[in-house]
Structure 1
Amino acid sequence: MLEILSSMVTSNSIELFFIEGAGGLNWIGQIVRWIIELFGSYVGLGIIVFTLVLKLITLPLDVYSKSKMRKNSLKMEKMRPQLEKLQKQYQNDQQAYNMKMMELYKKNGYSMFGACLPMIVTLVIFFFVLGAFTSYSQYSNVRVYNGMANAYSEAIVAFAPDEGTESVSDVTPYVLDGVQQTDEEGNPLYRVTKTVTYFDEQSFVAYTDLQNFYTTDANIDVSSIDWSAVEVTSSYYIQTQAVLSSSDENVQAAIQAIRDAHAEDDTPWTDDMVAEEYVKQAGREAAESYYDQNKQGFLWVKNIWLPDVSYNHPVQGYDDFRSSASRVNVEITSDFYEEVTANLSYEKGAANGYYVLIVISIGTMFLSQFIVAKSNKAQNELQTADGR
């Protein structure tokens, strides 16, 4: 066993990540997720249905608000002759006009608050639901990248043996920097280490799974330890000689292609670098394949979870990725992120969209304001003493 570990330590170490989930969602976010994912890969359809559901939820408030506005409009028309009379009477005294106008409003049961309250409640609902939708969009975006990381790691681990050799150490004092460690009550701690080694001389990749069990019982029966509850730390290694000496013609052709591609580099590539590049290529291709199968776009928007603008890209740089995923826990390091997305250079520079949704939103907003302004024109004329 010591000879095996020694051989692995002298090989190239490589960093891999196996990530579960993409952070948590609150209960509103879980509902948003359920609605959108109800349609499987048709994410755009799911978002449309989510929008319709949100509209249905706020529809009673909208109907009530419009009903109150309609009633207010009728009351305003009923009061118009009296308000016009007050305007003539208090044409030069806005304060007095306001007092008389409010008295008239009260007498006729006219109130803007009844129409505004449903709008306020609707805004509160939108605030919480859209916040949950933002969290879900970040969750979905990160989930794709985490899936790419897992695909990359699984492709590289596939080069390792399927079966490992297990060893469990004796119970030994847990010592750090020459000091016996203790628990919170001052009792001395002891450690039992379990190691599973996946290694053979022909495999391109080898790795170890290491578990440390801590106890205050120096006489514990090692066979009674429940290792399923103990954290596993894995270390991965590329076996250079196994890669370079492979009898597979395709492997040798790929190795030669790597050497040729870097033949004129200022720093000559070593055998370790060539072997590492060969193994990593398999991981990059697996990550690219996962992305192609799981990317989420809609019509002209390449990544539906990012803005419809040309300066955003469907695959972001690491800093932009971290920034846009502020509500989600991102476990991938910068170096590993760049390695996993190495085959997606086109997607890192392509335009995510062409401002179509932004233009539609602005146009809709102006149209809505125009309609509201036109409908309130007659009412606004009666809000001032001079009718302006």
Structure 2
Amino acid sequence: MVMTATVIPGNLARQLRRSERRKKAFAISLTLPLLVFLLAIFIVPIGALLVRAVENPEVASTLRHTVAALDHWDRTSAPPDEAYAALITDFSAITEQSEVGGLARRLNSEISGARSLVMSTYRALPFEKNLSAAQTRERMLALDPRWQELGYWQAIAKNGSRWTPDYLLTTVDLKRDVQGNITRVDADSAAFFKILLRTFEISAVVTLFCLLLGYPLAYWLSTLSPRQANILMILVLVPFWTSVLVRSAAWIVLLQTNGLVNRSLMELGFVGEPLPLLFNRLGVIIAMVHILLPFMILPLYSVMKSVPPTYLRAAVSLGSSPLGAFFRVYMPQTYPGMGAGGLLVFILSIGYYVTPALLGGADDQMLSYYIAQYTNVTVNWGMACALGAVLLSATLVLYALYRRLVKTELSLG
């Protein structure tokens, strides 16, 4: 039997290629709006956050002449007279009040008192004309003797570069000294590493309780008929229709000293006086578990529905006890759901802000609380973005570990 190859005429081949190109162009046109949306709403903000975490423009863009004059300064002796003259030149070139305000805030974050020093000097301008560098120095010292203190000049020299690792170092309680060497901050000033550990600790506890509560509930739902399971699943999803703020406020009413929980416990005789359930770690965990529990139930239920119930019956018929069959046959098949639910709950927990802020005390605030503080109160965008970058890095690391261990994509169902 002789096989003959099919020969496609040239015109037909070109038409097929043109048709394939049109199909690809049409598919790209359908996904283009989504790609643009993701780029504008997701990729660009994250890129801006990462850039701002290492960007330090206030001193470098405002005090260019001063930074150049301090370029060869050893940072231990008195600064040269030319630095004083360059500083007045840079101050005189500032036309917007917001620029000098940003400069003052940035230097004040390095050394206390820099804000008042910068603002008072700026308001005293202009100085007399044709002053020499030495005369400018004397004029500044007469205006405010603090200008002879090395700390203020060291802060200017240290932040002379537009890019800095200082914000990221601060998030793990490290800093650069006046010579640029990386050292640990003083024990009295160390805070962020402890806050980061607290954030992970609270998130881990919330994830554990969500797993302990969500696993039996998801298992029960998976054993029901589809109609019953769908009705009860609606009850699981009902909290999504209420904002986190409203649910957190409702827990304040329930957990307060004269709230429903304490009154019920006292009327049933379990306690003789109200328990401290509010403005502490316990209240934060209770509310966060309630809010995040659906994110554990959904992936667990999805995985459990895919496990045939005949596996358990087969294990029992082969001599295993019902409990042994559950833990040795059924539970290992639900590990992907446990991993997906645990990852979702943990990632959502480390970024929680509203619930700990409303129900927790001073020692129960998580990292997101301090991001909000730096954004809204102290207006230190660099520090806020650095803390955000830490949370983003933790999220990516956790997702990479999940992919490596479970070897499946993250899914809610």
| TM-score above 0.5, yes or no | no
Q: Which has the larger radius of gyration?
A: 1
What's the TM-score once normalised by structure 2's chain length?
Answer: 0.26
More helix by share: 2
User: With CA pairs under 8 Å and 6+ residues apart, which has the higher RCO, 1 or 2?
Assistant: 1
